[in-house]
């Protein structure tokens, strides 16, 4: 990476899991992994660098997901002086794993029978107070002449944050950009895209494309530089367009309508590289496309009392 910037690597669900330590006069940590990541990975890594956790000034949770916030409570037990920050729109989900599961992972269960377990697993961590809610535009000085810019980059979550180090041309975007899915450590596709809201996700892609980003660091994807960054953003746009068109084609071929599970299967036909055992994770993106198509009048809910079935308007 570069002087004062460190990538901390572990594994979760067959994928790389990255956190980032930015070390100047102050230390800032981006994301905390799952509940065990601080003890097994982050704190030993800091110890090898010679950094006392008592120097940590801030822990930034980029967005509400178990593998990015689960270690918050454990990390703050080792560094109780550190402030916990996240996007203002994500405060409740970041502070409470139960809210994360009920409102983010399982919000499609009632109408579509899709979701996760009802109770958070141990890896989701425990309740943890959020001290600061960022809205984007804030600046964090960590040394003389070195500051970090907080970016609001929603789509995967309402308050998703990225950290931009303008002096080094580097952006730490976590899961704000999805390409055509998330790769595993072995290089093969591990999970589908999991963005939620289409228009704001596209807005985030346009925003990041307009920044001067020479180096891009994420939560799971390989590090990218130069033209690789623009290619990744372009791939993300193409994926949105392909998935949108596939959903419309699938509904055109079935006038009686399709439910969300059937449309996820159709998405899998368009993206055969998405593994069958994780294909249901496409529910968030597919549902987001359906919501946008409904808002623009192209899709409607079936009028026969079947709220889980979609037809072309």
Q: How many CA atoms lie within 13 A of 32 on its CB side?
A: 33
Q: What is the pLDDT of residue 1?
A: 86
pLDDT at 306: 66
Map out the domains of the chain as residue ranges: 5-235, 253-312
Confidence (pLDDT) at 302: 85
Task: Provide the residue-wise pLDDT of the chain in tens; the chain has 313 residues.
Answer: 899 999 999 999 999 999 999 999 999 999 999 999 999 999 999 999 999 999 999 999 999 999 999 999 999 999 999 999 999 999 999 999 999 999 999 999 988 999 999 999 999 999 999 999 999 999 999 999 999 999 999 999 999 999 999 999 999 999 999 999 999 999 999 999 999 999 999 999 999 999 999 999 999 999 999 999 999 999 999 999 999 999 999 999 999 999 999 999 999 999 999 999 999 999 999 999 999 999 999 999 887 766 689 999 8
Architecture in CATH for domain 5-235: 4-Layer Sandwich (3.60)
Residue recorded with tokens 């450590």: 185
**Can you tell me the distance from the alpha carbon of 208 to that of 202, in angstroms, rounded to the nearest whole number?**
10
What is the per-residue pLDDT for 304? 72
At residue 305, the pLDDT reads 64
The predicted pLDDT at position 249 comes to 97
- Is the whole-model pTM more than 0.85? yes
């Amino acid at each position: 990476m570069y002087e004062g910037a460190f990538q901390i690597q572990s594994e979760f669900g067959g994928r790389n899991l990255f956190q980032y330590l930015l070390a100047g006069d102050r230390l800032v940590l981006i994301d905390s992994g799952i509940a065990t990541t601080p003890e097994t990975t982050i704190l030993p890594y800091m110890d090898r660098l010679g950094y006392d956790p008592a120097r940590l000034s801030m822990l930034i949770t980029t967005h509400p997901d178990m593998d990015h916030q689960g270690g918050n409570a454990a990390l703050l037990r080792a560094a109780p002086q550190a402030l916990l920050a996240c996007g203002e729109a994500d405060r409740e989900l970041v502070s409470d794993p139960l809210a994360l599961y009920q409102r983010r992972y399982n919000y499609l269960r009632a109408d579509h029978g899709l979701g996760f377990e009802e109770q958070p697993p141990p890896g989701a961590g425990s309740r943890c107070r959020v001290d600061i809610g960022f809205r984007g535009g804030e600046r964090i000085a960590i040394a003389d002449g070195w500051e970090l810019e907080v970016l609001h980059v929603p789509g995967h979550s309402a308050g998703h944050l990225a950290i931009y180090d303008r002096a080094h041309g580097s952006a730490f975007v976590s899961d704000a950009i999805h390409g055509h899915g998330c790769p595993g450590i072995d290089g093969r596709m591990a999970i589908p895209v999991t963005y939620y809201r289409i228009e704001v996700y596209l807005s985030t892609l346009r925003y990041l494309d307009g920044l001067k980003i020479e180096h891009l660091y994420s939560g799971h994807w390989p590090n990218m530089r130069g033209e690789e960054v623009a290619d990744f953003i372009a791939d993300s746009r193409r994926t949105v367009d392909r998935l949108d068109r596939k959903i419309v084609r699938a509904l055109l071929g079935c006038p009686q309508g399709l439910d969300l599970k059937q449309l996820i299967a159709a998405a899998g036909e368009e993206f055969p590289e998405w593994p069958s055992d994780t294909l249901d994770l496409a529910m968030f993106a597919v549902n987001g496309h359906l919501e946008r198509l409904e808002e623009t009048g192209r899709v409607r809910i079936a009028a026969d009392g079947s709220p889980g079935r979609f037809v072309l308007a």
